[in-house]
Amino acid sequence: MDTNPLPSARRSTGAVLVGAAALVLSLAACSAPGTPATGAPSGQISSSAPTSVPLTESNPPGDIPDNQAFVPFTDPSGAVTVKVPEGWARTAGGDGGTTFTDKLNSIALQVAAAPSGLSPAQVRSTVVAKLTSKVPAFALGDVQQITRSGSPAVLVTYQGDSAQDPVTGKVIRDAFELYVFFHNGTQVLLTLTGPANADNVDPWRIVSDSITWP
């Protein structure tokens, strides 16, 4: 029998040290990089992980949506038909014209009898001269001879200020495309209006290309 207590104490101390070392190694393994803290199997995504939220698309003010539908409209005299955006509000003017509006955009159609068509120079001296005094802050862009769906026309591009909004007091800078068509004694003024920063090239092309005669 071993009567010396020292070796037994050494054995006890060694056992404690071995146990402590094992505990340290165990904790190190648990905190090792790449090991899920929750104990979930490798490669499994936690249900609390953030998910991406799709952004809601919106059109800038004045932009006509790409999916806008167009329907034919024949003026009361029956002289001409043009495609206009479906659902827009229609108003008959005192001058016999018709206007379609939606938010910041509008389409105005005015039909009148005329002995002949107008050249770009004649449009400048008559139509543009009236616009200069009628449109606030009028700024002429160009006056040129063009063709739309086989019909000759004179196109006037210009900018001007809108009427002041009665609620917000804001004034919008508008861009205009005015088409002057002539066919068999009938003159048609087609005016397309929208905010100057809007991108309505395609919708306005659909409308101006849709002029048909009976």
> Which is more confident, 191 or 46?
191
d(CA 9, CA 5) in angstroms, rounded, equals 6
CA 185, CA 142: separation in Å to the nearest integer? 25
User: Please, what is the average pLDDT of the chain?
Assistant: 81
Closest CA to 158 of 192, 200, 110: 192
Q: How many residues does the chain have?
A: 214
Tokens describing residue 24: 């340290």
> 70-208, which class in CATH?
alpha beta
Asked whether the predicted pLDDT for residue 14 surpasses 70, the reply is no
Please give the pLDDT value at position 96: 77
Q: Mind listing the pLDDT tens digit for each residue in 67-86?
A: 999 999 999 999 999 999 99
List the domain boundaries for the chain. Answer: 1-32, 70-208
Would you give the DSSP letter of residue 39? Answer: -
Amino acid at the residue 145:
Q
Torsion angle defined by CA atoms of residues 33, 38, 44 and 49, in that order, rounded to the nearest 10 degrees: -100
The pLDDT value given to residue 149: 86
The CA-atom distances, in angstroms, between 193 and each of 5, 68, 91, 106 are 106, 16, 15, 5
Judge whether residue 55 has pLDDT over 90. no
Share of the chain above pLDDT 90, in %: 64
Whether pLDDT at 50 is above 90: no
Percentages of the chain per state (helix, strand, coil), in multiples of 5: 25, 35, 45
Residues 6+ apart with CB under 8 A from 209: 148, 149
Q: State pLDDT tens for residues 133-183.
A: 999 999 999 999 999 988 899 999 999 999 998 898 999 999 999 999 999
pLDDT of residue 150: 87
The predicted structure's pLDDT at residue 211: 96
Contact 77, 150 (CB under 8 A): no
With a CB cutoff of 8 Å and minimum separation 6, the contacts of 88 are 100, 101, 102, 107
Bigger pLDDT: 14 vs 195: 195
| Confidence check: pLDDT of 208 > 50 | yes
Quick: pLDDT tens for 119-141. Answer: 999 999 999 999 999 999 999 99
At residue 51, the pLDDT reads 54
The tokens of 160 are what?
Answer: 């001007």
